[in-house]
Amino acid sequence: MSGEARTPGSPQRGGGTGPDRPGGDRRDAQGRERGAARARGAGQRSESAPSQRAKVTDPARNVAFDVLQEVASSDAYANLVLPPLLRARGIRGRDAAFATELAYGTLRLRGRYDAIVSRCVDRPLDQVDPNVLDLLRLGAHQLLGMRVAQHAAVSETVGLARARAGAGSAQFVNAVLRKISRSTLEEWLEVISADAPDDVTRLAITQSHPVWIARAMREALVGTGRSADDLAELLEADNTAPRVTLVARPGLVSRERLAGEVTHDVRGDATTDPGRWAPTALVLSGSDPAAIPAVRHGAAGVQDEGSQLVTLAFAAVPTLPAAPSTPTAGDRSDRAGNPDERWLDLCAGPGGKAALLASLAGEQGARIVANEVAPHRARLVEQALAAVPADAVERVQVGDGRRVGVEEPGAYDRVLVDAPCTGLGALRRRPESRWRRTPGDIATLTTLQRELLGSALDAVRPGGVVGYVTCSPHLAETQLVVKDVLAGRDDVEVLDAAAAVRQVAGDDIPLADRTDVQLWPHVHGTDAMHLTLLRRRA
């Protein structure tokens, strides 16, 4: 079924038996070849019927396979699918860690493994049953990407294939995985990259990224002041599982108290380390965040340190008093009192940045409006804000962010635009995203991003601050969006976002000599967050 293997570093295996070949004395009286054990008289049939044997499969591998199925069938995200499956099936500790690495690692390295599998089958991959292809990817990751004994990787995956796809598919999986196992990862990487026309394509294949994404990343590195030579390290960082980072929301829990809760209230070998850059960040190892009381109650949450850092920097930039003027209908830009009292999170779902902003607002006597276009995401924002003092939250509203600038002109002192984007900066966290996005998504998203940023600039009062944030380093979603919007306005100035980030993180943080900020996984250990800060001229 599988055709001839084209494996590197292995001689062709000859067939036939005879006195001078291993197994030459294994034929019985009828001329049928016996296995080595039965030839020695040591063979013994299992007491279980084949149908019963097929159903004994490893729970952790079963969960990983189910995650791949759900991701493929319903466009779900693995980080939302896996935790409830683990809880529902009572999988904990090392088994849960194994299932997590197997599922996430297979999704991250799918492109690499597909390139390898394609050299071990006799048909195009789009003609292989999708379920069977997922099983082959799982097996390949165990063989080439995890510390799993070769025999266990093959036999357990074949057992899973027998239970989930049938005996015929199990034989196919067995044949293909045995071909894969004949060579090391290094040998396979040489084979699959041998015909690459250029270095970017070679890195895309070996580091399991679509070529268009690898090219966009290279352009973003160069366009933000880094070297194109960083690309290999960046793509490798995308394939490294990130550690869980907690946010200690100011005024609700200190980072020290949060660390104490982990140490004293969570069973097991949980440890914490302070974040590198954000004073609110705490890196967690060896624990389920949901087991931490402060997380359960909303005083803390799970949030990438880069996301925390850009939020803190946005909140740290001072606003300026509005210049005296005659107010127009609906324009509250000259209202009396605190010139930094009303904040807006324009695209608030699912609520991580909104909760951090609201906790900061509560400490400073300000209040926040959280706007989200999708009702189900607005409910997530409400949940994220549950622990924030009521007087720090004006409301959570469902609405189109593109309309806020028209409906509430000059109504806010600060507006954060955490714009919907390709998410290319969080590929290590959402590994399936790289296989879902296409170059065509860029045009649709950048149109939306320009409209949202324009609305935010209309919604902020003169003297107020707008933060434009994306979890993507793609130049079209970052620098070009800002350039396009500012080209049509003469009432906006660009602020020094790098100085604002250094004010939060310290002078040691490596940043390019630019006013905007681009964070990188391989440099900062964060998602690739972008931050531009703007102010309406007073």
Q: Which residues are catalytic?
A: 471
In terms of C-beta density within 10 A (0-12 exposed, 13-18 middle, 19 or more buried), how is residue 379 classed? middle
Sequence-distant (≥ 6) Cβ neighbours of residue 202 within 8 angstroms: 193, 196
- What is the C-alpha separation between 78 and 266, in angstroms, rounded? 25
440 — phi, psi (to 5°)?
-65, -20
The answer to whether 465 touches 500, Cβ cutoff 8 Å, is no
Among 426, 106, 368, smallest CA distance to 249 is for 368
Output the six-digit token pair for 435. Answer: 């296989």
Sequence-distant (≥ 6) Cβ neighbours of residue 52 within 8 angstroms: none
Place of tokens 């069973």: 267
In terms of C-beta density within 10 A (0-12 exposed, 13-18 middle, 19 or more buried), how is residue 375 classed? exposed
Residue by residue, DSSP assigns 88-108 as HTT--HHHHHHHHHHHHHHHH
Give the dihedral sign, CA 344/528/290/295. Answer: negative
Residue by residue, DSSP assigns 419-468 as -----GGGTTTSTTHHHH--THHHHHHHHHHHHHHHHHHHHEEEEEEEEE
Query: What burial letters (b/e) apply to 3-36, b meaning 16+ CB within 10 Å?
Result: eebebbeeeeeeeeeeeeeeeeebeeeeeeeeee
Q: Which long-range contacts (CB under 8 A, 24 or more apart) does 238-242 make?
A: 238/108, 238/207, 238/209, 238/427, 238/428, 238/434, 238/521, 239/108, 239/109, 239/207, 239/208, 239/428, 240/428, 240/521, 241/101, 241/104, 241/105, 241/428, 242/304, 242/428, 242/429, 242/521, 242/527
User: CA torsion, points 515, 521, 527, 530, in degrees to nearest 10?
Assistant: 20
Sequence-distant (≥ 6) Cβ neighbours of residue 267 within 8 angstroms: 291
Cis-peptide into 462, omega within 30 deg: no
* CA 508 remoteness from chain centre: 26
The answer to whether 500 touches 312, Cβ cutoff 8 Å, is no
